[in-house]
Each structure stands twice: as structure tokens, then as C-alpha cells.
Amino acid sequence: MHADYFDVNCQKCPRLAAFLRDVKEKNPTYHCKPVAPFGDENAKLVIVGLAPGMHGANATGRPFTGDYAGLFLYEALHEFGFSNRPTSESLNDGLILKNARITNAVKCLPPQNKPTGDEINVCNSFLAAELQTLPENSVILTLGLIAHQAVLKAYGLKLSHAKFAHNVKHELPNGHFLVNSYHTSRYNVNTKRLTKESFNAVFEAILPLLIA
């Protein structure tokens, strides 16, 4: 993992570092550290989520793994040829991503799944460094508004540069594209804000961009 865009020992956010120590005491087997990006280091598709979930990525050490939010995501990645299996269960389950990588706007578990604006900004340097490594015609798929805004910040753009809306494409510097989706959270799926069909439509829009 590139040292410039991930630090497993990062302690830059005191509130998050303290929270992780508390969670580790109660759940000794959990990862409870910054969660590294997962997938192909040379990927042209990068999916950006919000932050690790308490009993998902924070427990397993892999983004969107072990909780509900990963179900739609990993199923779609497999269906559209970006992975070798449709589920992500643990670090040693044999899952391999091809031309895709998953990262988060904030690498540490925040209380109530709500990072502060300062925490998002502090972690943004890691996201910016990661996105700068992408080749031309890469696509950044953001899951939810906070991830969308974090990507704009990472490119040094004003938030007014691109409005968040499901399955909408925006152009970014360096020949990159930003595509939005509602987050794959249990709430969005249960309320039908996000359906399998509407999520698959996002991937159908992304594929032609990757080969442009």
C-alpha cells in the first residue's frame, strides 16, 4: 500500500483515535485502526465511501466487508466483471478486485458514523494523494453526498463545481470522471431509495467511460 495515501498508524484525529481505543477494549478481535483501501493498485475505477462501519470494515479491516452496506456493492462489482466473487466476508476469503479499488473519505470509524468536518478535511490529504495516482479516463464512484464532497475537495474544487445526484456524471481534472450513487446503506435499500436496478444502472454508465 502506498505510504503517501495510507497510514495504518495515523493518529491525526484525537477524537477518532480515542474512540477506536474504546471500541478495541470492548471488541478485542476487531481491527480498530485506519482501514486501508482495498483492490487493484492500478485500478481505473475507484469507489469512495464515507467511513468504516463499526461491525463491518472496522471489525474486518476491509472496506464494506462484514456489514449490510457491502452486499449491493460487491454483488455489482462481480456482476460487472470487477471481482472474482460476489461477496466479501473477510481478509482471507480469496476475493480479488480487477481494475477496481474501494476506499473511504475517512479511514477511521467515527462515533455514530458521523465524522466531523475537521476530520473529513484532515483525512482528505490521503484521499487526494490516492486520486492523484489514477491514470487518465479513470472513474471515481462516490457513494453518498459526503464522499462526493470529499472528492471535490481532493481535487481542489469548490463544492458548487458538481451537484450530487444519483447516476450523474461530472468531469474532473486530469481526464477523470466523477459518478454519483446513493450510498448502499441498509436504510437506502430498505426505503427503495436505492434498488439493485438503479445501482446496476450506475455501473452500466461507468463501463463506457473506462474504455474511452
Task: Quote the domain boundaries for residue 177.
Answer: 37-210
Residue 183 within a domain = yes
Tell me the average pLDDT across 172-194: 96
What is the average pLDDT across 184-211?
A: 96
Whether residue 2 is predicted with pLDDT greater than 90 in this model: the reply is no
pLDDT tens by residue, 124-157: 999 999 999 999 999 999 999 999 999 999 999 9
Prediction pTM value: 0.96
Q: What is the CATH number of the domain that holds 62?
A: 3.40.470.10
Q: Does residue 212 register a pLDDT over 90?
A: no
| Residue 17 forms part of a structural domain | no
Q: Model confidence over 43-88: pLDDT tens digits?
A: 999 999 999 999 999 999 999 999 999 999 999 999 999 999 999 9
With respect to residue 14, please indicate whether it lies within any of the assigned structural domains.
no
The number of distinct structural domains making up the chain is 1
- For residue 111, what pLDDT is reported? 97
Q: Tell me how far apart the alpha carbons of residues 180 and 48 are, in angstroms, rounded to a whole number.
A: 10
- Residue 179 confidence (pLDDT): 98
What does the pLDDT average to over 94-99? 98
Q: Is it the case that residue 1 has pLDDT exceeding 80?
A: no
Note the pLDDT of residue 178.
98
Residue 202 forms part of a structural domain: yes
Question: Is residue 204 in some structural domain?
Answer: yes
Residue 9 lies in a domain: no
Domain presence at residue 25: no
Residue 26 lies in a domain: no
- Give the pLDDT band (50/70/90) at residue 20: very high
